[in-house]
Structure 1
Amino acid sequence: MDEKTSVGVIGLGIMGRRMLEALSSHDKFYASHIWDPSAVSVAKATPLAPEAKVCDNPAAVIEGAKAIYLACPPDPRRLYAMIAADCGKPLFLEKPLGINMAASRSMVHHLEKTRVPAAVNFVQATGEPLAAIKAALQSGEMGDLVGIDIEVSYAQWPRLWQKDAAWLKLRSEGGMTREVISHFMFFAERLLGTTHLNWTSPIFPDETLCETNLSARLFNPDGLPLNVFANVGGAQPDKQRVFVKGTKKSFKVEQFSELWVSEGDRFSQVVFPSDNARIDGLHVQLDHFDKCIRGEPHLLATIQEALSVQEKIEGMLAG
């Protein structure tokens, strides 16, 4: 049996802790070193990886582990990624790739120069809904693709389970467009190819807080539309869905991993996530990260794909 690869985790908020849980039950990786500037986050994380060394700084994590997972906010993530790449450590990055386009382009160029294996955690990259839709499109089962709609709606932002990540409510780094719509932008560009922004209309409550409403339209090189609708507020359940529309069949993705299909009538569910879907999805991502490290073909989002997504996300927020 191959020896497990040690992973250093920088950033122990909700995403970092979810990854620790996934690493603790994976057959190819384990968490060996962890760090976060918040003592509260460290205290919440240590029971999930009791054997991991709690480091005094991110440099110690990078030095001690064979691969690095970065779940810290976007701005410091860039610096840690370049330091890890210079040390030859494979990288698994949280999304969004960044918030400043010039800085992210510089980081991508730096990572490409080092040739270190690197991928971004858009979890739908390895999910069953995307694979099923791609297969239906390639086989002709869904007919011609005519467009994609992204719809996101929340009663509040950040959501209750994100309350510890106060930065998510700020315009500088947070917001639902970066945190959620970026996932669906990646999903859409895997089907449509690279898109370009045609128009956008974000609404911000003030100069410091993140967006509460956003509408945008993008097109791919063939002129197929990608429509984005997002809002926060009101007594309602959270809604996250993507409609992929074809001339014979259309698909709806709900809550990241449910898949529904329609031939013109009501949607019927065809993919039912397991009770442990979130960790199962991270396990598959880690399977493909192992392939990435080994130089084998994989389905994870590349840093170039993540940069393309960031360009559209920051363009939408710029208005």
Structure 2
Amino acid sequence: MVIKTAVIGLGIMGQRMLEHMEQHPEFEVVGIWDPEAGACQAAQRYAPGAVVATDAISAIEIADLVYLACPPAPRKAYALAAAAQDKAVFLEKPLGINVEESLDLVHQLETYGVPCAVNFTQAAGAALTDISAAAKDGTLGVLQGVDIIVTYPHWPRAWQQAADWLRLRKEGGMTREVISHFLFVSLRILGPLELVWAQPDYPAQSDLCETHVAARLANQAGLPVTILGSVGGAQPDRQEVTIKGSKTSRRITDFYRDAVSSGQNFEPIAAEPHNPRATSLKAQLDDLVLLLAGKPNRLATLEEALHVQILIETILKNHPTN
């Protein structure tokens, strides 16, 4: 039987996931909803058979799985509404923006006992799976730490302009949207992390998100995770996380390009997939099927997502003017 799915939030990520759910043999999108009528109309081209619901609750009622791609603020209410109806929940990251609210969300979802996961897109990917194995079997040697570098000429990026909330300090910014992905990778490799220090910089307009961030975190053994993020200047996007070992190091660029170095230039591990985004989303959906079947899977747990959120929000608030 296919997994009847409702998609709440039909912006960029919602439409992408909707498209790939419709291509996956295990999923059927039966209901969609977004407060913007234009977003609903645009999404219908991917799932013409789905019901355009009058509100989020109506979409939730007709599904077995609810995928929440809406902005962070309303996500808790929709997740709990779904869980109260015994629906499985797949949430976009970040888990939230208010730590106390997210602590309560995780507690309530665990009490309901429905299958839940958070969409950190590298979780089921080949790169993180292979690097995790290499870290455990000694291929990397002794782990030395992780470096995260994220730089952009503009934020939000050109393809994100329709999601206006991404430029605002309340819910948006590159630290929540991108650096969180690489902190999740670091968490999977190094285990729980604690913030050592952080310095985010904000523009003069008080409602806008950070333009620069630097931070240092460490795991329980003291291994460092170093973060550098910046916006501005004529440059291409740069998104990379390097897992450093005494024998070899691995670098993931743009979420999926996996390369290795033993001291020389980083060399690709394998040929790039024909459609990296499709490959990544299919891997996430394959593991989502496993989650719903009660089987082991690689998706990000609520606890992992909460840990990442706590780190991110602490970084963003660690500023003299906050």
TM-score, scaled to structure 1: 0.98
Cα distance in 2 for residues equivalent to 1:12 and 1:275:
26
Deviation for aligned residue 1:245: 0.4
- Structure 2 residue aligned with 1:122: 120
Give the 3-state SS of the residue equivalent to 1:56 in structure 2: coil
- Structure 2 residue aligned with 1:66: 64
Cα distance in 2 for residues equivalent to 1:196 and 1:122:
20
1:129 and 1:253 in contact (8 A); partners too: yes
- Structure 2 residue aligned with 1:306: 305
Cα distance in 1 for residues equivalent to 2:171 and 2:265:
39
- Opposite residue 102 of structure 1, the aligned amino acid is E
Deviation for aligned residue 1:181: 0.6
Cα distance in 2 for residues equivalent to 1:125 and 1:271:
18
- Opposite residue 148 of structure 1, the aligned amino acid is V
Residue-pair matches, total: 317
- Structure 2 residue aligned with 1:51: 49
1:62 and 1:84 in contact (8 A); partners too: yes
- Structure 1 residue aligned with 2:135: 137
The sequence identity of aligned pairs, in percent, is: 48
- Structure 2 residue aligned with 1:99: 97
Deviation for aligned residue 1:7: 0.4
Deviation for aligned residue 1:237: 0.4
- Opposite residue 255 of structure 1, the aligned amino acid is D
CA RMSD, 1 decimal: 0.7
- Opposite residue 301 of structure 2, the aligned amino acid is T
- Runs of 4 or more, structure 1, over 4 Å off, are none
Deviations along 1:203-231, whole A, 9 cap, x unmatched? Answer: 01031000000000000000000000000
Cα distance in 1 for residues equivalent to 2:305 and 2:61:
26
Give the 3-state SS of the residue equivalent to 1:291 in structure 2: helix
- Structure 1 residue aligned with 2:28: 30
Gaps in structure 2 of 5+ consecutive residues: none
Deviation for aligned residue 1:275: 2.3
Give the 3-state SS of the residue equivalent to 2:213 in structure 1: strand
Deviations along 1:35-78, whole A, 9 cap, x unmatched? Answer: 00011211211101100000010000110111100000001011
Cα distance in 2 for residues equivalent to 1:52 and 1:180:
30
- Structure 2 residue aligned with 1:9: 7
Cα distance in 1 for residues equivalent to 2:199 and 2:145:
20
Give the 3-state SS of the residue equivalent to 2:90 in structure 1: strand
- Structure 2 residue aligned with 1:273: 272
Deviation for aligned residue 1:303: 0.5
- Opposite residue 90 of structure 2, the aligned amino acid is F
Cα distance in 1 for residues equivalent to 2:260 and 2:96:
34
Moved more, 128-137 or 102-111: 128-137
Cα distance in 2 for residues equivalent to 1:188 and 1:134:
10
Cα distance in 1 for residues equivalent to 2:32 and 2:144:
46
Give the 3-state SS of the residue equivalent to 1:148 in structure 2: strand
1:8 and 1:68 in contact (8 A); partners too: yes
Deviation for aligned residue 1:116: 0.5
Give the 3-state SS of the residue equivalent to 1:51 in structure 2: coil
- Structure 1 residue aligned with 2:291: 292
Give the 3-state SS of the residue equivalent to 1:75 in structure 2: coil
- Structure 1 residue aligned with 2:213: 214
Deviations along 1:164-195, whole A, 9 cap, x unmatched? Answer: 10000000000000000111110110000010
Deviation for aligned residue 1:138: 1.5
- Structure 1 residue aligned with 2:148: 150
Cα distance in 2 for residues equivalent to 1:280 and 1:254:
15
Gaps in structure 1 of 5+ consecutive residues: none
Give the 3-state SS of the residue equivalent to 2:74 in structure 1: helix
Cα distance in 1 for residues equivalent to 2:220 and 2:166:
33
Deviations along 1:69-112, whole A, 9 cap, x unmatched? Answer: 00000010111001101110001100000000000000000000
Give the 3-state SS of the residue equivalent to 1:178 in structure 2: helix
